[in-house]
Structure 1
Amino acid sequence: MIKSNAHRGAYIHIPFCDHICHYCDFNKVFMKNQPVDEYLDALAKEMQHYREDGLPETIYIGGGTPTALNEVQFERLFIDIQKNLVHSSVREFTVEANPESLNEEKLEIMKRFGVTRLSIGVQTFDDHLLQEIGRAHKSADAANAVKLAQTHGFDNVTLDLMFALPGQTETSLHESLERAIGLGTPHISIYSLQIEPKTIFYNRMRSGKLRLPGEDIEADMYGQIIFELEKHGLHHYEISNFAKPGYEGIHNSLYWQNEEYYGIGAGAHGYWKGVRYANAGPVKKYIERVHAHGHARTSEHPVTVTEKMEEEMFLGLRLMKGVSTSHFREKFGVPIDQIYGTQIARLQEEGLLTEHHGRLSLTRRGIFLGNNVFEAFITS
């Protein structure tokens, strides 16, 4: 019997962008001529719908580009969130921001409405690479945005970086890491570039016009990242995330710990009451569905017990602390070895998985071959 869990988060999606980056496959649209005010109306209505099921412990506004909203729209968004979702026990309130659209007025709005954490999309401090990947800001803009946020009292700032970019060298990566570390933020997220369908980079790759670092260079870059960030006191707590103690991302940790969360907004995905769901992606369709039903779900999938166990493993193993064997038994009513004994033994023999103090976690080698480990637990 699976026990219910009180932990929950709320993800709110703002799909609007002033430009489209070459690698981005998230649900997004150009800001110009979009029904932004009508979209905010629908967001407020969908928040009301989920409020009836209980208030979240974490709130995360992502995109798209949330800071692409103008100041009036931006403030209105936070008024609606405060009315419907904010309460005294919110543990973390995060907003994604782009350097070119973050200003003093928006920082003051976020401070006034209780935002506790900013996630600033920097990607790289190499101006040539920023142009190559279609970003609208320069490296100086990114540094200035971080400093501006810090002067407005935001001490919990995370930098979002990328590596294995087209034409990126290990020297360029090292220089970006040095610039990032020098800004003194307590959290850095850094992801390798993934080429996804329906992106500019995907089309370039198919036509042979995209030059990417090979797998060996990408692995070397990842090793360099781990070494440099840990050397400067940012501990490696998740495959792609590094933080000073006490600054680990709480909202994203809900995902990795397989907890439930509301997905609010066009194209948002949620996991609630044992059901994974997806909202309508097109903005106008999203607005229509919310006004008709109170929510915008277009697909729902009740997660089976087997799937929940699989997710517990491949999500939990992203965390360096790994998966608790006692928690697994408490949650699912069976010992972990009864379900995954064969896979665990094989991965331990291959040097990819280890068990220590009742927790299964990736070895150093396993961190570099994480996908091989995760795939071993997908049986359904």
Structure 2
Amino acid sequence: MPKAVYLHIPFCDYICHYCDFNKVFMKGQPVEEYLDHMAVEMKNTVKKFPYDHIETIFIGGGTPTALSASQLDVLLESVNDTFHPGSHIEYTVEANPGSVDEEKLSVLKNAGVNRLSIGAQAFQNDLLKRLGRGHDEQEVVEIVKLAQRMGFDNLSLDLMFGLPDQTMDMFRESIERTIQLDIPHVSSYSLQVEKKTVFYNLFRKDQLPLPTQEEEADMFELLISKLEKAGLQQYEISNFARPGFESKHNMMYWKNEHYYGVGAGAHSYMNGVRRINAGPLKKYIQLVDENGFPYTEENELTTAEKMEEEMFMGLRMKKGVSVERFQEKFNIPLMTVFGSQIDQLHDKGLINLNKGNISLTEKGLFLGNEVFSEFLGVVEE
């Protein structure tokens, strides 16, 4: 049964130059109609795929805080009526600097939201402009301090590295500014140039001056060092937290648990089937009206696919994949399935074998994709 809920709000006040997520400009969109259809999808989904208890809720986008305070209230009322979150669950909303004020934060807090994921990305105004972000560095500071004053103590900040014309000194400054804000959780990813983005078009024209792979690796090494010295431990390749502030929601993905996905373009994993919702708003609304569900793809995973996912998702976590848990889930020893690959990776110094877990070494953290690919297409049905 699903223990986690992801809800997608595709509306944005601006479109970032690197973003390939499902999103649309807010202006002129049928926002209220969309929220109504999300409520219908929620009700239909839990009726068809019941849950026992929900442990995490995450509202992402897009930009959820692009909604007005009254629209946020409508959304959160639907969520709470459907999933009945208790005070013990992790309840996260993505919040962008520049689109949040005290009124919206009050709506979130009154609805039970207890964690904010803040999209800072950088602390240099020129770089933020280059990314197409709609805020400046001061607005990052302001939203963090406002949220802290209002009692949000579980905050996460997003930082990016490997950006166009980004230097080591710039990234060092962003890390240090983050540490100064007393943030208990940081997510930091290197830039991936994706199709259908402004950056992709510039990249194809050779007009995107990116750091070298060596410089990017140095940035990642600096990130790990400075955050761990500040008490934020790396618990997943790209995520760092003080003890007790790890993202429970993302852990559901990395542990390959089942979860609901609600909204345009959302993905879900229920009863061993991965589903993808229609992305375009009109199509999403039409399918919910016609079928009660907006699915455009349904893929029932084979046992082999589940095993592969267990490895390359689980190895993202610092503690790695549990040998005992693998045996419990698949009724076969992990080494019987992937022993050859594990031995080879261990010989290369990329994975550890200890304490009943298979995990990445320090070297393996920098070569994660190389490790993960070794577990694909191995198991025969």
Query: TM-score scaled to structure 1, two decimals?
Result: 0.97
Contact 2:2 2:260 (C-alpha < 8 Å) held by counterparts = no
Query: What is the letter of the counterpart of residue 282 of structure 1?
Result: P
**Alpha-carbon shift at residue 116 of structure 1 (Å):** 1.2
**Alpha-carbon shift at residue 49 of structure 1 (Å):** 1.3
**Alpha-carbon shift at residue 85 of structure 1 (Å):** 1.3
Secondary structure, in 3 states, of the residue corresponding to 1:99? coil
Task: Please point out which of 46, 55, 63 is paired with 1:51.
Answer: 46
Q: Which residue of 1 aligns with 2:353?
A: 355
Q: Which residue of 2 aligns with 1:29?
A: 24
Contact 1:27 1:266 (C-alpha < 8 Å) held by counterparts = yes
Secondary structure, in 3 states, of the residue corresponding to 2:199? helix
Query: What is the letter of the counterpart of residue 280 of structure 1?
Result: A
> Distance between the aligned counterparts of 2:316 and 2:129, measured in 1?
31
Q: Which residue of 2 aligns with 1:66?
A: 64
Contact 1:48 1:84 (C-alpha < 8 Å) held by counterparts = yes
Q: Which residue of 2 aligns with 1:142?
A: 140
Range moving further from structure 2, 76-85 or 339-348: 76-85
Task: Please point out which of 263, 286, 290 is paired with 1:288.
Answer: 286
Q: Which residue of 1 aligns with 2:122?
A: 124
Q: Which residue of 1 aligns with 2:105?
A: 107
Question: Aligned-residue CA RMSD in angstroms?
Answer: 1.0
Query: What is the letter of the counterpart of residue 340 of structure 1?
Result: F
Question: Identity over the aligned pairs, expressed in percent?
Answer: 54
User: Following TM superposition, where does structure 1 have runs of at least 4 consecutive aligned residues deviating by more than 6 angstroms?
Assistant: none
Q: CA deviation digits over 1:276-302, x for unaligned, max 9?
A: 010000001101111222210010000
Matches for 1:1-380 after TM superposition, within 5 Å: 6=1, 8-52=3-47, 53-54=50-51, 55-88=53-86, 91-379=89-377
Contact 1:56 1:90 (C-alpha < 8 Å) held by counterparts = no
Secondary structure, in 3 states, of the residue corresponding to 2:98? helix
> Distance between the aligned counterparts of 2:105 and 2:12, measured in 1?
19
Contact 1:354 1:362 (C-alpha < 8 Å) held by counterparts = yes
Query: TM-score scaled to structure 2, two decimals?
Result: 0.97
> Distance between the aligned counterparts of 1:10 and 1:74, measured in 2?
17
Q: CA deviation digits over 1:288-343, x for unaligned, max 9?
A: 11122221001000000000000000000000000010110111000011100110
Contact 1:99 1:141 (C-alpha < 8 Å) held by counterparts = yes
Range moving further from structure 2, 104-113 or 47-56: 47-56
Q: CA deviation digits over 1:22-58, x for unaligned, max 9?
A: 0000000000110001000000001101222125321
Query: What is the letter of the counterpart of residue 320 of structure 1?
Result: K
Any gaps of 5 or more consecutive residues in structure 1?
Answer: 1-5
**Alpha-carbon shift at residue 212 of structure 1 (Å):** 0.2
Secondary structure, in 3 states, of the residue corresponding to 2:286? helix
Contact 1:92 1:250 (C-alpha < 8 Å) held by counterparts = yes
**Alpha-carbon shift at residue 8 of structure 1 (Å):** 1.8
Contact 2:2 2:270 (C-alpha < 8 Å) held by counterparts = no
**Alpha-carbon shift at residue 91 of structure 1 (Å):** 1.8
> Distance between the aligned counterparts of 1:272 and 1:139, measured in 2?
40
**Alpha-carbon shift at residue 60 of structure 1 (Å):** 0.4
Q: CA deviation digits over 1:142-197, x for unaligned, max 9?
A: 01001010011000000011001100000000001000000001000000000000
> Distance between the aligned counterparts of 2:331 and 2:126, measured in 1?
54
> Distance between the aligned counterparts of 2:242 and 2:326, measured in 1?
28
> Distance between the aligned counterparts of 1:273 and 1:90, measured in 2?
25
**Alpha-carbon shift at residue 86 of structure 1 (Å):** 2.4
> Distance between the aligned counterparts of 1:191 and 1:101, measured in 2?
22
> Distance between the aligned counterparts of 1:140 and 1:356, measured in 2?
45
Contact 2:12 2:66 (C-alpha < 8 Å) held by counterparts = yes
Query: What is the letter of the counterpart of residue 195 of structure 2?
Result: P
Contact 2:193 2:199 (C-alpha < 8 Å) held by counterparts = yes
Contact 1:352 1:373 (C-alpha < 8 Å) held by counterparts = yes
**Alpha-carbon shift at residue 90 of structure 1 (Å):** 5.5
**Corresponding residue pairs, total:** 375
Contact 1:157 1:185 (C-alpha < 8 Å) held by counterparts = yes
Secondary structure, in 3 states, of the residue corresponding to 2:188? strand
> Distance between the aligned counterparts of 2:321 and 2:204, measured in 1?
39
Contact 2:87 2:112 (C-alpha < 8 Å) held by counterparts = no
Secondary structure, in 3 states, of the residue corresponding to 1:23? coil
Secondary structure, in 3 states, of the residue corresponding to 1:100? coil
Secondary structure, in 3 states, of the residue corresponding to 2:183? coil
Any gaps of 5 or more consecutive residues in structure 2?
Answer: none
Contact 1:57 1:89 (C-alpha < 8 Å) held by counterparts = no
